[in-house]
Amino acid sequence: MQKIAVLISGRGSNMGAIIQQSLTGCLKGLCRVVVVASNRLDAEGLTLASRYGVPSICVESKDKSRKAFEGELIARLLAFDVEWVILAGFMRVLTSTFLSHYRGKVINIHPADTVQHQGIDGYEWAYREGLEKTYITVHKVDEGVDTGSIIAQAPVDLKGANSLAEVKQRGLCVEHKFYSRVIEQVLREECVAFLE
């Protein structure tokens, strides 16, 4: 059973889906979410994690240098023997301080095609551009902003979506299923980049 940490900054709906899949779905028997870590004390996802009985920690990033924050985060994760770090709405760019410790083992989900749009507000971008289709991207994390190698992408049909809320709702619905499936393939070392 591989031990994963899920890093969040807010709502944590992807985190909830991953925990659920690890308990009863495609990740069952493959991995366990041993800890949820937030860089913000007010992250709603912390409450959700405790409802699942998953330990959570908060290492606040505010007013800390990146080096100090990441050093503290590594120290806290070490106590849980974490092997994989799954970012799910974690709103901090990680530097080599953290990434060299978990080299190749940090994964992120981005609500757009990372080739076309990096950074925040992926759904706002898709809505503004009037896209009929957008892509959710799961990628390895490197020191850049959404520049790591793409593991897999899934399309979101946006035809007829006439509000930003609708775009987000359709996208999140795909994210919640897709992320766990990709994590499953990565952990089974079966994953090559694919579009579905």
Helices 164-187 and 13-24: crossing angle, nearest 10°? 40
Pairing state between β 31-38 and 84-87: unpaired
Shortest spacing between CB 93 and ligand GRF, in angstroms: 12
Among 31, 54, 73, 88, binds ligand GRF (CB under 6 A): 88
Closest approach, Cβ 46 to ligand GRF, in A, equals 11
Q: Which residue is nearest to ligand GRF (CB)?
A: 89
Q: Which is nearer to ligand GRF, 11 or 140 (CB)?
A: 11
> Given candidates 4, 5, 6, 14, which one binds ligand GRF under the rule CB under 6 A?
14
Query: 3-state DSSP call for residue 113?
Result: coil
Cα–Cα dist 130/111, whole Å: 15
User: Does 111 interact with ligand GRF (rule: CB under 6 A)?
Assistant: yes
**Piece of the chain touching ligand GRF by CB under 6 A; list 8-16, 64-72, 99-107, 126-134:** 8-16
From CA 106, how far away is CA 92, in angstroms rounded?
13
User: Tokens representing 68?
Assistant: 């100090």
Q: 3-state DSSP call for residue 180?
A: helix
- Per CB under 6 A, contacts with ligand GRF among 157-186 are 175
Q: Which stretch binds ligand GRF (CB under 6 A): 13-21, 34-42, 55-63, 74-82?
A: 13-21
Token pair of 14, please?
């992807």
Q: 8 and 36 in contact (C-beta within 8 Å)?
A: yes
Q: Shortest Cβ distance from residue 158 to ligand GRF (Å)? A: 14
155 near ligand GRF (CB under 6 A): no
Which tokens belong to 157? Answer: 């049909």
Does 148 bind ligand GRF (CB under 6 A)? Our answer is no
Q: Give catalytic status of residue 110 as yes or no.
A: yes
Catalytic residue among 110, 117, 139, 176: 110
**CB < 8 Å & 24+ apart, contacts of 99-105:** 99/141, 99/142, 99/143, 101/74, 104/140
Among 19, 86, 109, 150, binds ligand GRF (CB under 6 A): 109
Residue 45 tokens, joined = 């996802």
Catalytic residue ranges: 110
Name the site residues for ligand GRF (rule: CB under 6 A): 8, 10-15, 88-89, 109-111, 175
